[in-house]
Structures are given as C-alpha cells and as structure tokens.
Amino acid sequence: MSKILIIDSHKGSKNIEPVNLHFINSRILANYLKADLIWSYPEVNENIKTGYDVIIFVHASKYSYVDYEWVTKNPNAKLFYVTNEYNLGESYILWMAAKEGRKYSVIANHPNEASKVVMKYVENWNIVNLNVLSFLPKEEPTEVNNWLEFERSGCVYYGSYRKDRQKYYNKYLTKEITLSTYYKNIVKFGTIQSQIIPRINWTKRGLFNFKQSLYIEDESTHVYYNFLANRFYEALNYGCVPIFSIECQNTTKLSGYEISEEYFITESKQLLDKTDLKIPREWCDKASKEKEDVLKTIGEIVL
C-alpha cells in the first residue's frame, strides 16, 4: 500500500488543527487515503520523514512553515496539487520542486484555462467536484447534520471579498440580506445596505440562525464551470435553504441538480415570498453519492 503525505499550508498549532474549508478537505482526504497530514505549525520540521510514495499539497499559502526538505527527502514521491480556487497558483514548495525539474499532477474543480497554475510543469489535470467534500451525509454522526430546530430568520451571505463578484454585491446585498465577513473586508464591499455581522462561527451555531443562504458566484464562473460552490453543500448541512441569484442558472444546470425556478431571485426583495421553501431530500441524496464518487476517483488518481 502506498505511503502518502498530505501537506496543508494553513497555520495552526501542533495539537490544534486549523478550522477552515481547505483544511477540512485535507483531513477528509487524509482519513480516506489513510495518509499522514501535516500543516503549518512551528514544530512541523522537527521530524521530517522519508519513504513517501505520494505527496499531496492542499492550498497554497506562501507563508507556510513547512520546509522544502519534506520534498527533497522523498525524491521518488509522485507530487499532486489539490486546488478548488482558480485564482490560486502553486504552493511555494511545489513551485521549488517544479523549478528543479519535478513534474506534478493537479486535482481541481475547474479547467486549467481558469487557473494561475503554470501548465509547463503539470503532467495531468484532473477535474473532480472538490466542493462536495464539505457535505456531511446524514449517516455521519455530527451535531451539524441533525438539522436541530433553531429559531431561524433571514438570509445570509457570508465569506471574504471577491473582486469578481462586485457587481452582484451591488445588486443583491440590500437590506434583505445579512452579510457575514471579516471586519477588515467590510470596506472592500463598498456601499451596500446589508446588516453586517462577524464571520460565521463554524465551531458553534454555524448557519443554524438563518433560514436562507444567498448563492452568488464570480463572473468568471459563468464562463468556467466550477461545480456548485461549497456554500451550497454547507447550506445542506445546516438545513439552510440555498437561494440562487439568477446569474447562476448555467452553473446549476450543469451541476445536474434539479433546482426549480422558485429557488432563484432577480432581486433580493423576492426573498420575502420564499420563506416557506424547503431543501429537497433529493439534493442531499445526490450530494452524498457525489461525495462517495469523488473520494473514490481521487483515490484512483493518486494511487
């Protein structure tokens, strides 16, 4: 059986794993592939190991503590880069390996034409739905997917600022929407009418306070299909109904999910007429099957 190492670039401590989407993907892959997992903490290079057949990089922060020696001490390992962000380039360590002549393969949820990754060093580009990894099927015993009965109200849009969504921020972030974001991002959104609250706390109530979750996407995603975003699957986890901007219809059509017109809006005030919408059970069933298939496919790619 292949010995696998997964390297995530997010910062944390040795005994406390980071709490963010990319790291969750790393942990899911590590559990499925029975791989070792390291991330960016000060002691990470104290015991650099050899003998890996496969090294998988997830995310690409250039500020990671992980040393390049993890790669040089495993000269025969196949290298992979897992990325679900088209606006990210290679991991710094991976870039160093590439400049020294080592090729690597990419596992992404978007075509290479949308990416900043330099194709000169890429052997294979594999497209899979990485976003579905964030879905928590009902059979997984977590408090989140019990859909506990909280008193819910309103519609939330959450996340960091993305320049490629500015026209949709201007259009949809009105008084009917609550914006959840990091306080340093607020000024970037410009003049909006939404109530603004701190970032969603995923270790506590997550989306349980909200009845609906607004789904908008980058203009680039209209052109380069990127599967349904993580926020769709996160909404399913919390029983929070996804409401799509009309501009996302091409993405939803390509996704294969049966999403009827009533789940779309052309302006935010239409949300007031959609408070009785529920999440179709079929969406969750499809997401559960998708997740199984994606993990199986990734295993076949790297092994």
Q: Domain check: are 141 and 280 in the same one?
A: yes
Output the pLDDT for position 137.
78
Long-range contacts of 203-206 (CB under 8 A, 24+ apart): 203/19, 205/150, 206/144, 206/234, 206/237, 206/238
**What's the confidence (pLDDT) of residue 145?**
47
Boundary (domain end) residue, out of 127, 162, 192: 127
pLDDT on residue 241: 96
Q: Are residues 190 and 264 in the same domain?
A: yes
Give the residue-averaged pLDDT of 103-128. Answer: 96
Considering the domain architecture, whether residues 279 and 156 belong to the same structural domain is answered as yes
Q: Which of 107, 81, 83 is nearest to 94 (CA)?
A: 81
The mean pLDDT value for 224-249 works out to: 96
In a domain, 147, yes or no: yes
Rounded distance between C-alpha atoms, residue 83 and residue 261, angstroms = 31
Residues 142 and 252 in one domain: yes
Q: What is the pLDDT of residue 149?
A: 61
Residues 101 and 170 in one domain: no
Distance CA 113, CA 93 (A): 23
Domain of 250, in residue numbers: 134-286
Encode pLDDT of 62-107 as tens digits.
Answer: 788 999 999 999 999 999 999 998 888 888 899 999 999 999 999 9
1 pLDDT more than 80: no
Residues 6+ positions from 7 with CB-CB distance below 8 Å? 38, 39, 55, 56, 57, 58, 66, 70, 91, 93
pLDDT at 147: 54
If one counts the domains in the chain, the total is 2
- Residue 7's pLDDT is what? 96
Angle, helices 21-33 vs 281-302, to 10°: value is 60
Query: How sure is the predictor about 2, in pLDDT bands with cuts at 50, 70 and 90?
Result: confident
Please give the pLDDT value at position 142: 47
pLDDT higher than 80, residue 24: yes
What does the pLDDT average to over 35-61? Answer: 95
140 and 279 share a domain?
A: yes
Establish if 294 belongs to a structural domain: no
The first and second tokens of residue 1, run together, are: 């059986």
* Of 211, 169, 208, residue with least CA distance to 186: 169
What is the number of other CB atoms lying within 10 angstroms of the CB of residue 14?
A: 12
The pTM (predicted TM-score) of the whole model is 0.93
Establish if 299 belongs to a structural domain. no
What CATH number is associated with residue 277? 3.40.50.2000
Q: Do 142 and 80 reside in the same domain of the chain?
A: no
Based on the domain organization, do 116 and 176 belong to the same domain?
Answer: no
Identity of residue 80: F
Give the Å distances, CA to CA, from 76 to 2, 103, 261, 303.
12, 11, 52, 14
Alpha carbon 299 to chain centroid, angstroms: 19
Per-residue pLDDT band for 211 (boundaries 50, 70, 90) equals very high
Q: Chain-wide mean pLDDT for the chain? A: 93
- As a residue count, the chain comes to 303
Q: Could you read off the pLDDT of 170-181 as tens digits, one per residue?
A: 999 999 999 999
Residue-wise pLDDT for 238-296, tens only, equals 999 999 999 999 999 999 999 999 999 999 999 999 999 999 999 999 999 999 999 99
Domain endpoint, select from 88, 104, 127:
127
Alpha-carbon distance 264 to 271, whole Å? 9
The string of DSSP codes covering 18-66 is: --SHHHHHHHHHHHHHT-EEEEE-TTTTTT-----SEEEEES--TT---
Report yes or no on 291 lying in a domain.
Answer: no
Residues 66 and 147 in one domain: no
CATH of the domain at 22: 3.40.50
Per-residue pLDDT reduced to its tens digit, 141-190: 444 445 556 689 999 999 999 999 999 999 999 999 999 999 999 999 99
